[in-house]
Structure 1
Amino acid sequence: MVAPTGGSVLLNALGYGLLIAVLGGSGGVDEVRAQDRESIRFDVAPGVPVEATVRDEGGVEVRIGSAGAIQQVAGVADADGKARLDHEDVDFDGHLDLVVRASVGQVNEAVAVYRYDAASGRLQTLRVPSGTQANCDGLWSLTVDVSSRTLVSTCRGGPMWYTDLYRYAGDALYLYRVERMMMLETPALEAVLDVDVAEDAGPLAVWSTLAADGRVLEHAVAGGLAVPAHGVPLKGVTARVVASRQPLYAAPGDTSTRRYLVAGDRVELLDERDGWLQVRYRNPSKGPVLGWVPVALP
């Protein structure tokens, strides 16, 4: 089920917590033993074969090593208790990782996974950080961008798609980039700014880039359906000022200012807060100028 809560989307896959199970290993030639991928076998390290089989309700039984030590992992499951097994180098360590996937609802895909720990000879969960600004609860419809070492998690809540991007700080994942949908009424926005945005970009969203410690490094307003390029600074959509004399305030809620924009000035949209838009105007003589413009809430 998918349910928006306070601007974010909290997902629950039929009561199963989301895991991404990663088996760290050296790779090797994989041997898929069933067309539906309910069983899979590959090497996670030299001389360490792993054989995984989906059991009842999405649980996965894993045989590890030549001695065949058995471990049960939770996995994920669809409405029929089915799951699909695959492998990919999710943690960018050069070893193949086991990935367990299951369809949830009509469009969402839960992903469950565990990591091979050489010291214990067992699997360890690749954990997604909690208590963040992420829209999706865990990793969904996971794709891996190797070139930027970024994990892309995408989920749908109601009519909207949401995207969270993760990176690694050491062995731990952290939320690297996230979007927040803007709730501004279109006529109110158009009365203030004529925004340049492609029709297929979707509703406007505030994208944020975060550091590993959770600090926000930058904001930019862009289309909510077009994921910004990984590994490069965010770039906000541009707009043209509509009013003949548009006050530019230092902070949201301010009531006085000596700064103004005029009709035709072009600005870059950076952030939205309580019905106010932060914009950047590049003054030909003074350089970039930041300020906030009020826009009526719906």
Structure 2
Amino acid sequence: MKFLIITTLLLCISISARADSTFIIDGVNIEIKKEDECFYLLTAGKEKQQLKCIDDNLESDIIIRDFNFDGYKDIAITNSLGMVNNIFYVFLYDHVSAAFKELKIADSKTPTSACGDLYNLAIRLDDLSLVSSCRSGPVWYYDTYRYNAKGTLWLYKATEYQIQNSEIDTFPLYEHTFNQKGGKLDTVAVDFDGKKILWSVTSEKVFLYLSPEKTSKTKAYLIHNDKVEILEQKDDWIKIRFASRKGPLIRWLYLPEAIAKS
């Protein structure tokens, strides 16, 4: 996740400003002013608008950036929660009403995001998404959001840390991909930089199983240096996806058999 954090920092350096600042958005002069613990938006001819009240003891900042890819600058108020986690409160500019409205995430009981709120927000122009990343202990987690037709954010990808009961090196971090209705499309193991893992078989030959049970052994097998994606782990068993000549093959491997004995 290092590249996400670097991207976020670069954005902040170029477009951020402290409280009590004046900006021009859509040709209109606006002023953001902090009074006690609250940020207010002042626009000529309009009533003062309260944006957000935050803990005054924590470092805060203002970022002006197009967060919804509509060509108009938006406002983000950030609050530093610890050494690395900066929460973002985003207010999108509606050019029709010439007003700012707080960014909303689509209500959904499932799926569950890794970070909960928006942290260390990075803008990805390649796929028009927002990436929220947060650190808990030694692990960075991230959520990827996209906008639906109504301009509401929905959770597209999220990471999950899993602990397995295995003496063999495991695959603890997984990336889940969802559709707009919250249905899971895919799950794959990723490394701690967020890159998909392609794991190599190190034994000379390993048989494939239909399920994580010895009784489900098939005649099919993989050989040394065959590379697979990790979809799931259950202790010493891993569910893999192998790019065979006939298309993706999804089966199970028994790790003690797949790893060469030294």
Q: Which moved more, 1:246-255 or 1:85-94?
A: 246-255
Aligned positions of 1:23-34 closer than 5 A: none
Q: Which structure shows the higher helix fraction?
A: 2
Q: Which residue of 2 aligns with 1:219?
A: 187
Q: Which residue of 2 aligns with 1:166?
A: 145
Q: How many residues align?
A: 238
Report how far residue 213 of structure 1 moved: 1.9
Cα 1:255–1:56, aligned 2, differ >3 Å: closer, same or farther?
A: farther
RMSD after superposition: 2.9
1:107 to 53, 65, 84: 84
Q: Which residue of 2 aligns with 1:151?
A: 130
1:90 to 58, 63, 67: 67
SS in 1 for 2:218: coil
Q: Which residue of 1 aligns with 2:101?
A: 124
Report how far residue 93 of structure 1 moved: 0.6
Q: Which residue of 1 aligns with 2:199?
A: 238
2:156 to 166, 169, 176: 176
| 1:137-183 Cα shifts (integer Å, max 9, x gaps) | 11101111123212111111122111111111120111112222242
SS in 1 for 2:201: strand
Structure 2: tracts of 5 or more residues without a match: 1-14, 257-262
| 1:45-86 Cα shifts (integer Å, max 9, x gaps) | 34x3321112223x211113x2142111225446x1542112
Cα 1:115–1:283, aligned 2, differ >3 Å: closer, same or farther?
A: closer
Aligned positions of 1:274-285 closer than 5 A: 274-275=234-235, 276-283=237-244
SS in 2 for 1:135: coil
Aligned positions of 1:249-288 closer than 5 A: 249-252=209-212, 255-264=215-224, 266-275=226-235, 276-283=237-244, 286-288=246-248
CA contact (8 A) 1:76 1:101 kept: no
SS in 1 for 2:190: strand
Report how far residue 277 of structure 1 moved: 1.7
Flag the structure with more relative contact order, 1 or 2, with Cα contacts below 8 A and sequence separation at least 6: 1
| 1:228-283 Cα shifts (integer Å, max 9, x gaps) | 4xxxxxx54122153x6644222345742324425515131231143342112344
Q: Which residue of 1 aligns with 2:51?
A: 73
1:45 to 26, 43, 62: 26
| TM-score normalised by L of structure 1 | 0.69
SS in 1 for 2:216: coil
Q: CA separation in 2, counterparts of 1:155 and 1:89?
A: 21
Aligned residues: percent identity?
24
